[in-house]
Amino acid sequence: MMPLIGAAKGFSKCLDHIQSLPHKPDLIINSGDAIMDAHRGGRAIAEKQWRTWNNVIEKELSVPIIQSLGNHDIWVKNESPESIIEGKKYALDEIKESSLYFSKDLGDWHMISLDSISPNVEGKWYTGKIDEAQMHWLKNELKAIPSHKPVMIVSHIPILAACIFFDGNRFENNQWNVPGRWMHEDANELKNLFLHYPNVKLAISGHIHLLDRVEYNGVTYCCNGAVSGAWWGGNYQQTKPGYAIIDLYSDGRFTNTYSSYV
């Protein structure tokens, strides 16, 4: 959320578009990055951005919302692992959620929201993966869900995506280069875990601001663009500012349709 360049106006327009649909949604899922680069400014700047976000939510939103954390939401004094942990606690208070990762029934489906922003212990700031404790929790959670109940995974950073190969010059010196910040470093481990649970049907994400759909081993991975598009500057490459409309059916079928509000 960037107060100085019309973010509040754009966000309000998007919420109005969503809530004016012929079939009003039962739920809005924000997979992260409610505000813009909290860690790059002082605490006062982060607080101003959160006030803007929460003012729009309070005034414009009449649909229940579930929120997860993105990298831009985390204000830190420095980019150390300890500071990131403290920054997450602050951001959770702002989005009014009690846990970094959680599980929730959505009618006939089950939703698991992951915290994909992990401190980069080999460098600064963050990388995309879930930590050991969260992986242990995820394994137990999937084991406990009835096998007939379809599962949707939500992560800020894509677990698996195709669009990352076209965000900048990713091919150099005869090889593709995908940063760990752009796609889960533990994608292979998660893929192997999902193989044991055929009821894992859908995994949605944001982060890259681009739109794609990858189907692999029975799981559909959808990277669903961004409300801000090119950070409130129009389209990001060929992806318009927008959001996904997801319909979940009791037999495990679903539709994931991207809609632009501009």
* 93-115 residue pLDDT tens: 999 999 999 999 999 999 999 99
Spatial separation of the C-alpha atoms in residues 249 and 197, rounded to whole Å: 18
Q: Is the pLDDT of residue 3 over 60?
A: no
Place of tokens 């500012």: 241
Q: How far is CA 50 from the centre of its chain?
A: 17
pLDDT at 63: 96
Segment 52-61 shows an average pLDDT of 95
Spatial separation of the C-alpha atoms in residues 129 and 117, rounded to whole Å: 6
- Percent share of the chain, pLDDT over 90: 89
- Single pTM value for the model: 0.95
Between strands 117-119 and 126-128, the pairing is antiparallel
Place of tokens 């869900």: 145
Spatial separation of the C-alpha atoms in residues 254 and 69, rounded to whole Å: 24
| Sequence letter at residue 106 | L
**Are 204 and 154 spatial neighbours (Cβ–Cβ below 8 Å)?**
yes
Place of tokens 């997979």: 31
Segment 52-75 shows an average pLDDT of 96
Q: Is the pLDDT of residue 123 over 90?
A: no
∠ CA 195-198-199, nearest 5°, is: 135
Segment 50-68 shows an average pLDDT of 95
Q: What is the chain written as a DSSP string?
A: --GGGTHHHHHHHHHHHHHTSSS--S-EEE-S--SS-GGGS-HHHHHHHHHHHHHHHHHH--S-EEE---GGG---SSSSHHHHHHHHHHHHHHHT-S-SSEEEEETTEEEEE---EEE-TTSSSEEE---HHHHHHHHHHHHHS-TTS-EEEE-SS-SS-SGGGGSS--EETTEE---TTTS-TTHHHHHHHHTT-TTEEEEEE-SSS-EEEEEETTEEEEEE--TTTTTTSS-BTTBPSEEEEEEE-TTS-EEEEEEE--
Segment 232-255 shows an average pLDDT of 97
**Over the stretch 198-223, which tens digit does the pLDDT of each residue have?**
999 999 999 999 999 999 999 999 99
Spatial separation of the C-alpha atoms in residues 260 and 239, rounded to whole Å: 9
Domains annotated for the chain, with CATH where assigned, are 3-260 (3.60.21.10)
Q: Is the pLDDT of residue 124 over 80?
A: no
Segment 49-57 shows an average pLDDT of 94
The model's confidence at residue 2, banded by pLDDT at 50, 70 and 90, is low
∠ CA 32-144-221, nearest 5°, is: 40
pLDDT at 165: 96
Q: Is the pLDDT of residue 5 over 80?
A: no
Q: Which of 2-11, 132-141, 193-202 has the lowest mean pLDDT?
A: 2-11
| Torsion-angle region of 241 (φ positive above 0: left; ψ -120 to 50: alpha; else: beta) | beta
Segment 132-141 shows an average pLDDT of 98
- Token reading at 211: 């739109």
Q: Is the pLDDT of residue 40 over 70?
A: yes
Its sign, for the CA torsion 160, 112, 134, 41, is positive
pLDDT at 122: 78
Spatial separation of the C-alpha atoms in residues 139 and 120, rounded to whole Å: 23
